Amino acid sequence: MYGHLFLVLWVCTRNTILLVADRHTALPEWLHQSAKRTVSAIAEAHIRHAGALALLDQVWAAYEHAAGIDTGYGFFAPAVPNASKLVFEITYADGHPEYELPVVSDNAAGLRLSTFLYQLPRVRYEPLRELVMRMVVYSVWQRHPTAKRIRAVVGFVSIPPPTAARDLHVADYQFQYAYDFTFDTD
Amino acid sequence: MGLQLLFFCFSMRRNWVSLFESDPSQPVSRDLSEAVLNAQSHLIPRLGWFIEGGAALGLNEPTVLNITFALLLSTGSLLVIGLFSRSAAVAGWFMHLCAVKSANLMTYGVDNFTTIGLFYLVFAPLPDRFALDYVRKKSRQPNHCMADVCQRVLQLHICIVYFFTGLTKALGIGWWNGTSLWRSVTSPPYDVIPAHIWATLTPLLPLLGISVWVLEMGYPIFIWLQKTRLIWFLAIIVMHIAIALTMGLYLFAFVMIVLNLAAFGPDVLPFLNKITLRELPAMLQPANQN
């Protein structure tokens, strides 16, 4: 019981420190630096004992997931990010492009897709992010096997301020990053 | 929690097989999600285990996935009617966990809180007075000591959750000036109510934003005080209903209300004690020793 609650507390605290270290909060600079040093110290200690505690680490992680306490609870906090948008630019051999959006069957799937798009830029390990994008683009290519190139463009929906919304101004889309993948269709 | 499992199944019914099969035409495959899981631990439950087991028995992937869906649906139904409650709780928790972990790149808060609720349900004493198990074997009484421990842990867990949710909001300037609340309710896919309607409430947004994190951060204090318990409890429930109606997060609101009811419901709403068998019916009261 105490161990379980300690884990809940630890995961929440660690998550909050990470948010501060990543400068997502409005706290002063010295606190950001302190949080950064704390995060480094935790990571260092983790690496130092990684070999000896590998099994314990695996059991610990599995327990956290099994109990639903593997992540913190900072929903929509400290700031609400812009909603992400993914567009595929599909170019064929004759050079003509087509544009496609990810297709979802219902609202529930839409919510899950938006979570995925939200998490994507937060994947810190670049090769993993590229692999994820490669798989996403490959799924599009399955429907367009004659495409020569598919560009996955990730942007965000810039929400207008309340004053603009009152005049019925619509949301604006802004470019974030893109991945290009070429296919040898010969 | 049984209803929550049924709602989860209902929301996934169209995408269940396509979401979890190793199909290259799917944007985010189960293989990828499970590979990411492996980076954390090989012991985290996943649907891949069922699929490997099924393959050893000669069952193909869609068949195994359909069986797991049917089992999850059955465990939810059994929990709702309270039949074979303990087995259904364990099976429901495990299969729901496997499903959400195999789609871990697309999970959000509701999955986390459903896992939390089901995890506690595995240990919580069952059944309650409306359960078929209670009718089936009336003589067996729930373990009241265990019930108290489970309730206390859940209470503290919920307090920690609300405190940190409120704290992280309070650390961002957007929750002080109303910007974050504005963005929460107007960003797709949460823009259930058109932005121009929200815009008419502009002067109220900072107050509403501050109220949200004050309510959440204050929860671990005011829910324990006799005088403020009921008001804080009702305010949190109203907040979750508002989230459901204004942002379309119905499942999330439902599971949060269930967890609040399970944690503090019996203290705030005493009639719940009769349902959960905390107060034994007269016929089951221990005999007077005098």
Most distant CA pair in chain A, distance: 66
H or E element: which one contains A99? strand A97-100
Highest mean pLDDT among A38-42, A79-83, A97-101, B156-160: B156-160
- Which residue, among B211, B219, B284, has the nearest Cα to B242 in the 3D structure? B211
Return the pLDDT at B288: 45
The pLDDT tens digits for B164-214 are 999 999 999 999 998 999 989 988 888 889 888 888 888 999 999 999 999
Considering chain A, what percentage of its residues have pLDDT values greater than 90?
25
Average pLDDT over residues B72-95: 93
Considering chain B, what percentage of its residues have pLDDT values greater than 70?
90
Asked if A66 lies within 8 A of B97 by C-beta distance, the reply is: yes
Q: CB neighbours (10 Å) of residue A126?
A: 8
Rounded-to-integer distance, Cα B280 and Cα A127, Å: 60
Q: Do A157 and A82 touch, CB atoms closer than 8 A?
A: yes
| pLDDT bracket for residue B74 (50, 70, 90) | very high
Asked if A80 lies within 8 A of B174 by C-beta distance, the reply is: yes
Return the pLDDT at B153: 94
Tokens 């599009």, residue located? A140
Rounded-to-integer distance, Cα A137 and Cα B189, Å: 22
- Range scoring the smallest mean pLDDT among A157-161, A178-182, B176-180: A157-161
β-strand A83-92 against A172-182: which pairing, if any? unpaired
CA separation, residue B153 to residues A13, B96, B159 (Å): 18, 22, 10
Q: Phi, psi at residue B265, to the nearest 5°?
A: -50, -50
Rounded-to-integer distance, Cα B138 and Cα B82, Å: 13
> How many cross-chain Cβ pairs, A to B, lie less than 8 Å apart?
204
Q: Do A150 and A89 touch, CB atoms closer than 8 A?
A: yes
β-strand A97-100 against A147-158: which pairing, if any? unpaired
Structure-model confidence comparison of residues B267 and A124, the more confident one: B267
* Chain A interface test: which of B12, B13, B41, B182 (most A C-beta within 10 Å): B41
| pLDDT bracket for residue B290 (50, 70, 90) | very low
Task: Name the amino acid, one letter, at A75.
Answer: F
Nearest C-alpha of chain A: how many angstroms from B91?
A: 13
| pLDDT bracket for residue B11 (50, 70, 90) | confident
CA separation, residue A23 to residues A11, A35, A79, A87 (Å): 19, 9, 11, 29
**Over chain B, what is the mean pLDDT?**
86
What secondary structure does DSSP assign to A114-165, as a single string? HHHHHHGGG---HHHHHHHHHHHHHHHHHH-TTEEEEEEEEEEEEPPPHHHH
Average pLDDT over residues A93-113: 81
What secondary structure does DSSP assign to B12-81, as a single string? HTTTHHHHHS--TTSSS-HHHHHHHHHHH-TTS--HHHHHHHHHHTT--HHHHHHHHHHHHHHHHHHHHH
Q: Do A172 and A157 touch, CB atoms closer than 8 A?
A: yes
β-strand A147-158 against A83-92: which pairing, if any? antiparallel
Return the pLDDT at B284: 47
Q: Which residues contact A182 (CB under 8 A, 6 or more apart)?
A: A148, A149
Chain B residues 97-156 with a CB less than 8 Å from chain A: 97, 101, 103, 105-109, 112-116, 119, 149, 153, 156
The answer to whether A50 faces chain B, any CB pair under 8 Å, is no
Q: Phi, psi at residue A175, to the nearest 5°?
A: -75, 140
Of B44, B175, B183, the CB nearest to A61: B44
Residue B145: strand pairing partners: none
Where exactly are the structural domains of chain A? 2-67, 83-182
A76: which chain B residues are within 8 Å (Cβ-Cβ)? 169, 180, 184
User: The whole model's pTM is what?
Assistant: 0.85
Rounded-to-integer distance, Cα B177 and Cα B173, Å: 7
Where exactly are the structural domains of chain B? 2-141, 155-275
The pLDDT tens digits for A123-145 are 777 888 888 888 888 888 888 88
